[in-house]
Structure 1
Amino acid sequence: MTVTTGGPVVSFVLMRAVAATHSTDNAQRRVPLTSAPAGTGAYTVSLPADKGVVLPGTYMLFALDAQGVPSTARFITVTDPAAG
């Protein structure tokens, strides 16, 4: 997918939306993404090839600057195209 930003970015990560029960969240995960510049303020961001890493569901997408400061998250939905 292509992502546009308002400033320089060094990396992108996904955080799975919370699904807590009994004070634990077995589905919580932080997934670093591969990205490449795609023009001024634009980046091509790729999900990991292993479908077991990013399960279908709702995630928060963060862009991180050179100091590791995250952006405000954007919610995205990851689907499994094979599921129809």
Structure 2
Amino acid sequence: MNSSVTAFSLIRLSLNNELRRVPVSRTVGTAGEYLINVPSNPGIVVPGYYLLFALNKQGVLSVAKTLRVH
């Protein structure tokens, strides 16, 4: 676990140029891993591919990981 991570964010850029930034909540698992809680409301998080970023205290983004929301 990296203690300098302060937030996670999902970003989606689709073919119709719709840009979405979705802040997500997180918890820390028993092994020190982060568990990301994605909102289940399809009006907030529409199905598709997103980039998951971690942000540090200075607001600097990590290298993104791609994930798919069903």
Q: Give the TM bin, normalised by the shorter chain.
A: 0.7 to 0.9
The alignment-based identity, stated in percent, is 37
Q: Which residue of 1 aligns with 2:58?
A: 67
Q: What are structure 2's unaligned runs of at least 5 residues? A: none
Task: Provide the rounded CA distance (Å) in 1 between the counterparts of 2:60 and 2:15.
Answer: 24
Q: Alignment length, in residue pairs? A: 68
1:47 aligned onto 2:38: yes
The structure with the largest strand share of the pair is: 2
Q: What are structure 1's unaligned runs of at least 5 residues? A: 80-84
1:12 aligned onto 2:3: no
What RMSD in Å do the two structures reach over aligned CA positions?
Answer: 1.5
Q: CA deviation at 1:49?
A: 3.1
Task: Provide the rounded CA distance (Å) in 2 between the counterparts of 1:72 and 1:50.
Answer: 26
TM normalised by structure 2 equals 0.83
Report Cα offsets for 1:26-67 as digits up to 9, x if no partner: x21000001112243x11110113221110001000011111
Q: CA deviation at 1:18?
A: 4.1
Q: Greater CA radius of gyration, 1 or 2?
A: 1
Task: Provide the rounded CA distance (Å) in 2 between the counterparts of 1:50 and 1:77.
Answer: 15
TM normalised by structure 1 equals 0.71
